[in-house]
Structure 1
Amino acid sequence: MKWFKTAAASVALMLLAGCANNSSESDQSLPWVYPPMAIPLQASVQQEVQIARLTQLLQRSDLTDEVRAKMLFERGNAYDSVGLRDLARLDFTQSLALNPAQSDIFNLLGVYYTETGEFDAAYESFDSTLELDPNNEYAMRNRAVALYYGERPQLAFDEADKHYQMDPNDPFRALWRYIIKMDLDPNTAKAELSQQFKSHNEEWGWLLVAMMLDEISEEQLFKAILASTRDNNVLAQRLTEAYFYLGKRYHMQGDYAHAVSLYKLAISFNVYEYVEHRYSFIELGRIYKDVREAQLAKEKAELTANE
């Protein structure tokens, strides 16, 4: 399948989509040579000024612990938004030392621990968030994802299902419920997602569900994204989501080559605050680990056969 079927497609559209005709019909899995792209997000002047201003204010010696904790939290958020996660994590930890009753910080730290594979610490952080704020739905979702990456599929599904039931109209809750359920019962997972899709609304994320179910083609998905906005920030955000979930689909099918490429594309737009950007790194690590283990097993089997 070609991205553009005729040579008459305008050069302007080709530049906008970042695509070109695929001259070969032999590989139908990815129907484009140059995928749709957006300009990678960069730190804005406002973000840089905010970091500089907070850094200057934090040098004052007359700040109360409450005010200093709040400033550290704000600077941590600013660092996180431009991808400086180690600096953000340091500020969040210092803020908690001054004021431990901050549920949002525990949630953010839980995501960081998930990214680095420190799952016990992640679970504790999300538990702390929910103790302080039992209705924090972000922490519920993030705990389900941490349990999933921590290879506790049943606990992860129980959490994801609970989170989904709180808002069945949210396509991203449906997607994560499906992804986690695939480790337990693939046939049921797809049947349930199909049923959920039948009652979907017009929210953008349901296009991703349609793609996951093969209700629409990749070409249709990307054309819809490109037609939906001219704002580069929105385009970068939606492509980050699209490439991550498309990568996840290929990954679950065992197509590591395409999955790796798509996860890298999801990372490329610098949408640091989106979980799809964060979790792409985890998915790449999982693939590399699986490939390495498979290679070691192959080498061991060859050595055994030659003995």
Structure 2
Amino acid sequence: MKNGLLAALLCGAMLTGCSSMGGVGNGGSQSLVLATPLQVTYQSELKLIRLGQMINAPEVEPEKLALLFYERGATYDKIGMTSLARFDFNQALKVKPDFAEAYNYLGVYMTQMQEFDAAFEAFDSVLELQPDHQYAYMNRGIALYYAGVTHLAVADLEQFVSYDPGEPYRNIWLYLAQSETDPEAALAKLKQRQQLHATDAWGWKIVDFYTGKITENEFVASVTVGIDNNQALAERLSETYFYLGKWYQAKGNNNFAASFYKLALSNNVYEFIEHKYALLELDLLSQQRQALTQ
């Protein structure tokens, strides 16, 4: 990476008005793409008020009460109020102990906190209640990946890919897990899936970059294609910078990886797994630094 991107990263970190910094990756001049961070909307605030009123209304049926707690928890999650979200999901489970979706959310939170046994228990509960719950396989696979249980992570993520092989993010997470044990074989398998299943969906641009089909400049240049509003841009940037962080981390450049994880977080797309796990990645990098200094 050339020094221009480092300058651009520092520029973005300092929230200055830099608009054109050369040298992303290995070729050409490319600006660092930034979006206005997403803010809590009036609609979300009003929804929380209404849900609170409905929850506190007298004689609410248990089934409806559980759904109301779940919906308010999902709304809290969307705006980054994780502790309140966790409380509501737990309340939903108290009312309705077989609420699979609430377990799924709680498992993700446990993964973020590196409480892996609790995460596995939550995802196992989801799959006991709904054996074909696709995203429980994804989330348990990711939890296993971060816990270092790679062979089980790969098994879960292979199952997740099997439900929709043309969905790029499924293929990316499977590649990340497989690359933990054999990076070259993982890349070859990713190329095979790319050849068989790639579509025009933008997420395949990430795969194109990982497999060397396009350069980093070309990848970053693709970010704004088809984007016509700030929210869509913020969401795409959250994904872009997270997976750039994973790519640089795999290359051993933890400083750049950390910068990209922070950029992923800067968009405030709290509900995306890329935002959630960017926080975890930064925690893990911090733990590595502390271990080295000790």
TM-score, L = length of structure 1: 0.86
Q: Given the alignment of the two structures, is residue 79 of structure 1 paired with residue 76 of structure 2, yes or no?
A: yes
| Identity %, equivalent residues | 36
Cα distance, 1:33–1:225 mapped onto 2, change above 3 Å: closer
In structure 1, what is the equivalent of residue 290 of structure 2?
A: 292
Instruction: Please give the residue correspondences for 1:223-242 in structure 2 after superposition, counting only pairs within 5 Å.
Output: 223-242=221-240
Cα distance, 1:95–1:209 mapped onto 2, change above 3 Å: same
Tell me, yes or no, if the aligned pair for 1:103 and 1:128 is still in contact at 8 Å.
Answer: yes
CA deviation after TM superposition for structure 1 residue 280, in Å: 0.3
Matched residues in 1 for 2:92 and 2:114: separation?
Answer: 23
Q: Given the alignment of the two structures, is residue 49 of structure 1 paired with residue 43 of structure 2, yes or no?
A: no
In structure 2, what is the equivalent of residue 116 of structure 1?
A: 113
Instruction: Please give the residue correspondences for 1:199-238 in structure 2 after superposition, counting only pairs within 5 Å.
Output: 199=196, 200-238=198-236
The aligned length equals: 280
CA deviation after TM superposition for structure 1 residue 45, in Å: 1.0
Task: Please give the secondary structure, in 2, of the residue aligned with 1:215.
Answer: coil
Tell me, yes or no, if the aligned pair for 1:2 and 1:21 is still in contact at 8 Å.
Answer: no
Task: Please give the secondary structure, in 1, of the residue aligned with 2:224.
Answer: helix
In structure 2, what is the equivalent of residue 249 of structure 1?
A: 247
CA deviation after TM superposition for structure 1 residue 170, in Å: 1.4
Unpaired segments ≥5 residues, structure 2? 5-16
1:191 to 184, 188, 192: 188
1:155 to 152, 156, 159: 152
Q: Given the alignment of the two structures, is residue 21 of structure 1 paired with residue 21 of structure 2, yes or no?
A: yes
Query: Which residue identity does 1:227 align to in structure 2?
Result: V
Matched residues in 1 for 2:226 and 2:86: separation?
Answer: 35
Matched residues in 1 for 2:63 and 2:212: separation?
Answer: 52
Instruction: Please give the residue correspondences for 1:264-275 in structure 2 after superposition, counting only pairs within 5 Å.
Output: 264-275=262-273
CA deviation after TM superposition for structure 1 residue 18, in Å: 6.6
Unpaired segments ≥5 residues, structure 1? 4-16, 297-307
Matched residues in 2 for 1:52 and 1:79: separation?
Answer: 12
TM-score, L = length of structure 2: 0.90
In structure 2, what is the equivalent of residue 35 of structure 1?
A: 32
Matched residues in 1 for 2:212 and 2:263: separation?
Answer: 21
Matched residues in 1 for 2:27 and 2:288: separation?
Answer: 23
Greater Cα radius of gyration, structure 1 or 2: 1
Tell me, yes or no, if the aligned pair for 1:114 and 1:146 is still in contact at 8 Å.
Answer: yes
Cα distance, 1:29–1:105 mapped onto 2, change above 3 Å: farther
- Greater relative contact order: 1 or 2 (C-alpha under 8 angstroms, separation 6 or more)? 2
Tell me, yes or no, if the aligned pair for 1:66 and 1:99 is still in contact at 8 Å.
Answer: yes
CA deviation after TM superposition for structure 1 residue 61, in Å: 2.7
CA deviation after TM superposition for structure 1 residue 66, in Å: 2.1
Tell me, yes or no, if the aligned pair for 1:266 and 1:277 is still in contact at 8 Å.
Answer: yes
What is the Cα-based RMSD across aligned positions, in Å? 2.1
Cα distance, 1:46–1:176 mapped onto 2, change above 3 Å: same
Matched residues in 2 for 1:36 and 1:50: separation?
Answer: 32
Query: Which residue identity does 1:240 align to in structure 2?
Result: S
The 4+ residue runs of structure 1 with deviation greater than 6 A are 30-33
CA deviation after TM superposition for structure 1 residue 42, in Å: 1.0
In structure 1, what is the equivalent of residue 140 of structure 2?
A: 143
Q: Given the alignment of the two structures, is residue 283 of structure 1 paired with residue 281 of structure 2, yes or no?
A: yes
CA deviation after TM superposition for structure 1 residue 32, in Å: 6.7
Cα distance, 1:18–1:107 mapped onto 2, change above 3 Å: farther
